[in-house]
Chains A and B, each alone.
Chain A
Amino acid sequence: MKSNSNKNSIFSEGDKKYIKKSTFLSIIPGLGQLNNKQFFKGVLFLSIFALFVAEMLLFGIPALEGLITLGTDPATDHSLFLLIEGALQIIITIIFLIFLFANIVDARKVAKMRCINPENVNYSVKDILNHTLDNGFPYLLTIPAYLLMAFSIIFPVLVTIFIAFTNYNFRNVPPTNLIEWVGLDTFRNLFVFSAYRDTFLAVFSWTLIWTFAATTLQLIIGVFTAIVINQKGLKFKKIFGVIMLLPWAIPAFITVLTFSNMFNPSVGAINTQVIPFLDSILPFVELTSVPWKITTFWTRIAIIMIQGWVGFPFIYVLTSGVIQSIPDDWYEASVMDGASAIQKFRFITLPHIFTVAAPIFVTQYTGNFNNFNTIYLFNEGGPGSIGSGAGSTDILISWIYKLTTGTSPQYNVSAAVTLIISMVVIALSMFIFSKTKAFEMGD
């Protein structure tokens, strides 16, 4: 507060008026800069503004109009094109608004500087270019990343949001038909009415069970193995270490397809080799063939076990790294205080693992929430059908896939489910990240 009032007192009434004028003028980009006697910058900004106005008149206004109507005549209008063009125009407009804002800030800053120490202001073309290159370097570095993200994340997200509010499905396919805005109808179908709700709830609850069970299994095996292998004085540590890494090194789709074949209920290796073998060595238990891929229950058990196999090495490697980074003096100090081995483990090793690795553990949960490969490649979401195109082991992401690629595609439902998935994942990650220090990493 104090520095603020000091700052104000630097400027005379005339200065204040001048700063206000520069700021106000730059609502049309360039005018503020011209008022600051920065001619090169002013002309440059003015031409950017002119370019935007021209773009808006020629392309932008029709595009936004098209986005609102989504076409009126199926003979001439292609609703999807209109939708995409509208989305593109929105992004262009947002970029322009950011530029507008930056330009106002710039005009204000330069105007202030002209009042305090005028000799620091750049007027010549060369000075301005040098200054821009110097300060603009980090922006330059991030441009490729932003362009690529615009194509594969920002734009698709925008389009997905739009489609979720339309009636785009196999009955309305442009160019034969027009698409229309239907508001929240699709979401209402998913939550309140019709057969979709039952399917949605069934798939959603299995997705949650699957995420929790598979990831927790990964975590338990991974953390436990890391603790076991990192014991002092273990022999063959290297060999065991390499073996434990194998499931991570092999591309997961190969593993899942192989297991899919091995779990074949009639000829697969699990029923023809493993179970008879276990039956012969285990006393008192009678083991018989298990109906993998035939009943929902056993298919789910198989998928969860497979994900444990595929996913534990990542956790194991991470946890090993954390365990090795614990300083020895922590343990020595605890021994002095009379800690037992179990106490050392409970109060030093375990808490340390979870504080350091927690954010990455979370990504494992969100990863499995969207683990298409394991679910789909094992049994294509089957066995059986639970309506609306979903099988009994389908999770949301594989249901989306079926909704989009099936014989009667429901693009709008698929888009709505995508939005719901994203909301869940983002909410969960935000919650966990806010509990950890990830958000403070900015500086």
Chain B
Amino acid sequence: MAKKRKLRTQTTTNRWKNLFTYIYLIILSVIIIYPILITVTSAFRTGNIMAFDLNLSGPWSLNNFRRLFQDTLYGTWYLNTLYVAGTTMFAQVAAITLSGYAYSRYRFVGRNQSIKFFLIVQMIPTTAALTAFFVMALLAGGLNSHWFLILIYIGGGIPMNTWLMKGYFDTIPIELDESAKLDGAGHLRIFWQIVLPLVKPMIAVQALWAFMGPFGEYMLARFLLRRPDLYTVAIGLQTFINNPQDQRVTLFAAGAILIAVPICLLFFYLQRHFISGLTAGGTKG
């Protein structure tokens, strides 16, 4: 008798729990989807609207996308961003793969000090050194130049990402290297042919992060690039929306979609590697 009653109360609590679970998830999903849906639909709306709202009545057209490339510098901004992000990605991934490998695989004089150095430097918020970058750019001709920005982006991410990369290299058993060494493989061969193929997932994740960074970075880019034809998309798109008298929200929405869609696709494609990369690097878990 008593057992039966206990079972029944358990199923009722379960039912309540389920109900609550789905209500929670649905509300959260609505909150997430609502602004995204607004942006997506606005991109296809015709006419000029002052502000975003959810309006599914149409009419729809691709007009905004055409105007984006005909009437604004959006195409140039996009290419600029691809150039900055691409270069940053290649250089940064190369540098952190090499240094992460060195810290994971070799025991050398100064190793522990330099790992601690990375850990501390990693905490310094580089972008905050705005004044220093300003002075350096002023003297080295770095204002209005992409390379200066690229160098800052590359270097700024190195300590943290070397750290994550080292953590991931640590998860690859060292016995592999040792047996290859016994077979007569040299340093480069062990690195290139034995270990590197095994860390591809982490390299992919790091590449994505390094690539996404310049797309979203606003502060330094806004500060260093002062000519509209040099803007990256983040600064360019902001000009559509930051002037209260001239709100081009539909253009903003169209531009935003052309950035967000490819990045989202890359993101979901590489998503399953994120967790292993994060926990392996951050906590050695």
Contacts and interface: CB of A to CB of B under 8 A. Distances in A.
A372 B219 contact: yes
A97 interface: no
Given A151-B155, A156-B136, A135 B108 contact: yes
Interface residues of B, number: 98
A366 B123 contact: yes
Interface in B28-42: 28-29, 31-36, 38-39
Given A251-B215, A262-B51, A269 B268 contact: no
Contact of A244 (B32, B123, B151): B32
Chain A at the B interface: SS class:
helix
Given A80-B135, A251-B212, A411-B134, 6 more contacts: A153-B126, A159-B135, A267-B50, A318-B279, A356-B285, A397-B219
B51 A373 contact: no
Interface in A388-441: 397, 400-401, 404-405, 411, 414-415, 418, 421-422, 425-426, 429-430, 433, 437-439, 441
Interface of B: 21, 24-25, 28-29, 31-36, 38-39, 50-54, 91, 94-96, 98-99, 101-103, 105-106, 108-109, 111-112, 114-116, 119-121, 123-136, 138-139, 151-156, 158-159, 162, 167, 187, 212, 215-216, 218-219, 223, 234, 237-238, 241-242, 247, 249, 252-253, 256, 259-260, 263-264, 267-268, 271, 274-276, 278-279, 282-285
Interface string A325-366: 100000000000000000000000000000011011000001
Contacts of A142: 98-99, 102-103, 114
Interface in A136-175: 137-139, 141-142, 144-145, 148-160, 163
Residue from A152, A229, A415 having most chain B Cβ neighbours under 10 A: A152
Contacts of A135: 108
Interface residues of A, number: 104
Given A234-B21, A250-B36, A272-B53, A153 B155 contact: yes
A401 B155 contact: no
Contact of B234 (A150, A253, A421): A253
Interface in A218-252: 221, 225, 228-229, 231, 234, 240, 242-252
A415 B131 contact: yes
Contacts of A411: 131, 134-135
Given A84-B136, A142-B98, A441 B284 contact: yes
